[in-house]
Structure 1
């Protein structure tokens, strides 16, 4: 089981971020270069457009979005886009994303409405000009997926980051038995199983699971009620299990970005992290958990469809939609500092 990296934040994390940049803009520019004029108009938006910080995990028919959909791309253009996506996610994160998209086809096979369950109704939006702007952003969003990236020089913000799966376990049809987002659940169950009765009394703060993630699609998130057990009250084996859950969420990102954030959490806030649970601790019954640190929040719920429908999210209190990056950008901008 992977452990959190304990390298010095002051040197190694900075190095990793610098080396991670790889001029990410070139991959987005390559995608833009393959679009026609009308497509460029749809996908390109001002950096300060309100839609940049507006997000949701509902199907497109229930929540209108800006940008261009996969269905508006030809096969070659779609291939270029998905190649671009591989540079912003790890192999694991990329596979998870495409698997969630394909669950729309599963729902159609199980009798869902093809217009409502559309695997091509996922939106790409690019904010600012990655060819020349010092700070820009892009998003990829649709049913059960919301990926948001803000880029400035060597720094990348990758939150909010939402994934969902319906069904979490395919129980019938040609793909019976396939699972999505099961590791996010399995690792939390392993931690719960390792807790003593006294520890469980501290961890379980509600008998009934929330019907959805508490923060929903909020544009900004502040720390929730400090419930659950602190990492300092876990034994060494339990701490390893908690770290494994954290890494499961971070491993959706490219290694260098995940490692830098992992190291920062370990060195600056791990002891203050809270792990909390609501609902049943039995498999296949409605449940919810959260992991909250000084700078971030993880939520997972599995309550809908007889506990076969997962939502999970990573939020950064100060850096969702690149707020820290943007603040630093304006602080260091000569134009703004002279005003």
Structure 2
């Protein structure tokens, strides 16, 4: 009989909101608690200097990763790690993150792999801390594994950046028999993308649909700095009120994965740069469905933000999504200014 690693055995229990306190304080406290739960060798494995190039070494494919994976933690340490994750995410975001981890068990069955397989491995999700929580010096942390890569950077008691933020799901919809059949982790991201496309009139769709061919992945991949040659598609300002409502629901589906203070922080930044400058673009098949030749891609693109959604692989049943800050991924611009002002660099 196959032994399935469950969320319970990993210590990834149901979401319980952290204590009501500033998110930066809660996150710093959770990082310290996590690090204090580790022995000397584990702590060495889990930590890097903040200026280490490892901070930019991110990807969303199955691979060996730096940091301390769940498989090398005891129950207490796993609880501390997941408590840290809860300080950053909303209930919606935490539910998605833990479901993505659990989806590795489905992939083991789909691909007929043994229960102890380490390629599709719900225990191969690593926590890494960069620097030490401080009120004066920058620090950060990440969780990363297959289809999940979340990054947080802090400076002067404030979380200054929460990107890149990658979430994916393979399969996008579980179609094998069993208790997970019908499961769609990123259901809203899919449904609202189609809802917005189908709400457009013919002239609007001519602007929004920039290609009949779907790319085979998110365009920016795992590049250290995300960029596109130009903004394309239909502008938010050219949508009707009802269309803008769907657009905002779609946008908030991504921002709403974060704890509310962090979500509001991102929304305030978008408003400052101008919501009217955001654009919606679509590539690929315009009707939902699976199979050869199918594939759907959309993006929300503005001066400071890029959100990409791609569902093209595995006969259009393999979803990748990413949120990138085009000006300060990894908090780089603010950190550069900090070093210049504080250290004369």
Query: Is TM (by shorter chain) over 0.5?
Result: yes
Deviations 1:26-58 (A, max 9, x none): 110000000001101100111111110111000
Secondary structure of residue in 1 paired with 2:25: coil
* Aligned partners of 1:139 and 1:146 also within 8 Å: yes
1:320 is the counterpart of 2:323: no
Residue 66 of structure 2 aligns with which residue? 66
Residue 236 of structure 2 aligns with which residue? 231
Aligned-partner Cα distance in 2 for 1:45–1:298:
29
Aligned-partner Cα distance in 1 for 2:23–2:141:
17
Query: Which deviates further from its counterpart, 123-132 or 33-42?
Result: 123-132
Q: Return the offset for 1:244.
A: 1.0
1:166 is the counterpart of 2:175: no
Q: Return the offset for 1:322.
A: 1.0
Residue 260 of structure 2 aligns with which residue? 255
Label 1:124 to 1:327 Cα distance change in 2 as closer, same or farther (>3 A).
same
Aligned-partner Cα distance in 2 for 1:80–1:59:
24
- Greater length-normalized contact order (CA 8 Å, ≥ 6 residues apart): 1
Residue 4 of structure 1 aligns with which residue? none
Aligned-partner Cα distance in 1 for 2:279–2:38:
46
* Aligned partners of 2:153 and 2:330 also within 8 Å: yes
User: Which residue, 274, 287, 304 being the options, matches 2:296?
Assistant: 287
Residue 46 of structure 2 aligns with which residue? 43
Query: Could you list the runs of 5+ residues in structure 1 that have no partner in the other structure?
Result: 1-17
Residue 224 of structure 2 aligns with which residue? 219
Aligned-partner Cα distance in 1 for 2:277–2:152:
27
Q: Return the offset for 1:243.
A: 1.0
Residue 201 of structure 1 aligns with which residue? 206
Q: Return the offset for 1:131.
A: 5.5
User: Which residue, 178, 182, 187 being the options, matches 1:177?
Assistant: 182
Residue 140 of structure 1 aligns with which residue? 143
Residue pairs, 1:264-275, within 5 angstroms: 264-275=269-280
Residue 186 of structure 1 aligns with which residue? 191
Query: Could you list the runs of 5+ residues in structure 2 that have no partner in the other structure?
Result: 1-20
* Aligned partners of 2:134 and 2:157 also within 8 Å: no
Residue 90 of structure 2 aligns with which residue? 90
Kindly tell me the number of residue pairs found equivalent between the two proteins: 316
Aligned-partner Cα distance in 2 for 1:264–1:301:
25
Q: Return the offset for 1:21.
A: 2.6
TM-score (norm 2): 0.88
Q: Return the offset for 1:19.
A: 4.4
Label 1:131 to 1:267 Cα distance change in 2 as closer, same or farther (>3 A).
closer
Deviations 1:59-96 (A, max 9, x none): 02xxx421111100011111111011100111111110
Residue 102 of structure 2 aligns with which residue? 102
Q: Return the offset for 1:112.
A: 3.9
